[in-house]
């Protein structure tokens, strides 16, 4: 009883010390975003709410970090063998013979092994034991993927990458599921013409260049720009019609990552979704 009286007395004595109960801030709920669903003739079939993942925060720094990690982890060991340039027996005759101090193959005057000689070892070669891999957290990698998905909805980002598309179309470009059944290249070309993205394929074809020098070796003779990305449920079937177009990539929703959605770390790739593939993104 005495403790309650003391507490009431202290409260009257210092009323400004009373604790204020603040209301909890309201959670920010992003508004649903609408996208038109187009048929194979380029007309509007109906509208659909895009998944919540397309409203993620745009973080180009995390996208760039994830893409660099993907590329670094694929890098293979590069460098000479441990005995390169030293697979012979050499000797030096010593001082006082009127010859330079260069190791020479035994019994001859042919210089070898030293970096300054023909066929000798390299002075400072790249080290094959160098570890190029970069670590990136799972949550950071997933946030980069979600941020790259959000970037494909912004026409400014898509246009900045150099893609050509019909400005009257809503992004992301959503098409009916019949696009997955297009198994002939002639029919696929008609679909791209109706959707207004055939110019982007022509851009990739015209800007395909022959690499210079030794860059043509090991299966990388040509450098081909990236065109649009087609996301479908049945990728093997869609490749029959769209797989041979220059710069076009086909993937399933489970294969999406920051590198496919933002090649080179530049977000905003022109992306075409089928309705079925778009529905699989709702739980992300």
Supply the pTM of this predicted model: 0.80
Confidence of residue 30 (pLDDT cuts 50, 70, 90): very low
Give the pLDDT of residue 1: 53
- The tens digit of pLDDT for each residue in 125-161 reads 999 999 999 999 999 999 999 999 999 999 999 999 9
**What percent of the chain lies above the pLDDT cut of 90?**
81
Contact 157, 149 (CB under 8 A): no
- The tens digit of pLDDT for each residue in 67-90 reads 999 999 999 999 999 999 999 899
Residue 15 reports pLDDT greater than 80: no
- Range from 2-11, 57-66, 146-155, 180-189 carrying the lowest mean pLDDT: 2-11
Question: Domains of the chain: which residue ranges?
Answer: 34-75+136-279, 77-131
- Rounded to 5°, angle at Cα 36 from 33 and 38: 155
Contact 157, 151 (CB under 8 A): yes
Give the pLDDT of residue 220: 86
Q: Tell me the CATH number of domain 34-75+136-279, given options 3.30.2420.10, 3.40.30.10, 3.40.1370.10, 2.40.50.140.
A: 3.40.1370.10
């Amino acid at each position: 009883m005495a403790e309650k009286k003391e507490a009431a007395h202290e409260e009257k004595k210092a009323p400004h010390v009373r604790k204020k109960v603040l209301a909890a801030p309201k959670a920010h709920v992003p508004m649903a975003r609408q996208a038109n669903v187009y048929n194979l003739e380029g007309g509007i079939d109906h509208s659909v709410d895009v998944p919540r993942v397309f409203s993620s925060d745009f973080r180009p720094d995390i996208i760039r970090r994830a893409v660099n990690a993907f590329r670094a982890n694929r890098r293979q060991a590069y460098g000479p063998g441990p005995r390169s340039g030293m697979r012979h027996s050499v000797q030096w005759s010593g001082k006082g013979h009127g010859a330079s101090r260069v190791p020479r193959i035994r019994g001859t005057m042919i210089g070898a092994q030293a970096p300054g000689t023909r066929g000798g070892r390299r002075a400072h070669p790249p080290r094959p034991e160098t570890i190029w891999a970069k670590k990136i957290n799972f949550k950071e990698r997933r946030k980069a993927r979600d941020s790259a998905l959000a970037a494909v909805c912004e026409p400014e980002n898509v246009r900045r990458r150099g893609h050509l598309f019909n400005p009257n179309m809503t992004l992301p470009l959503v098409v009916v599921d019949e696009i997955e059944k297009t198994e002939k290249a002639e029919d696929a070309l008609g679909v791209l013409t109706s959707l207004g993205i055939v110019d982007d394929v022509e851009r990739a074809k015209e800007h395909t260049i022959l690499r210079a020098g030794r860059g043509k070796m090991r299966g990388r003779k040509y450098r081909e720009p990236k065109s649009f990305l087609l996301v479908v449920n049945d990728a093997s079937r869609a490749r029959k019609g769209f797989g041979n177009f220059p710069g076009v990539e086909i993937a399933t929703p489970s294969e999406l990552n920051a590198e496919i959605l933002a090649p080179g770390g530049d977000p905003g790739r022109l992306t075409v979704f089928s309705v079925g593939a778009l529905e699989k993104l709702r739980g992300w």
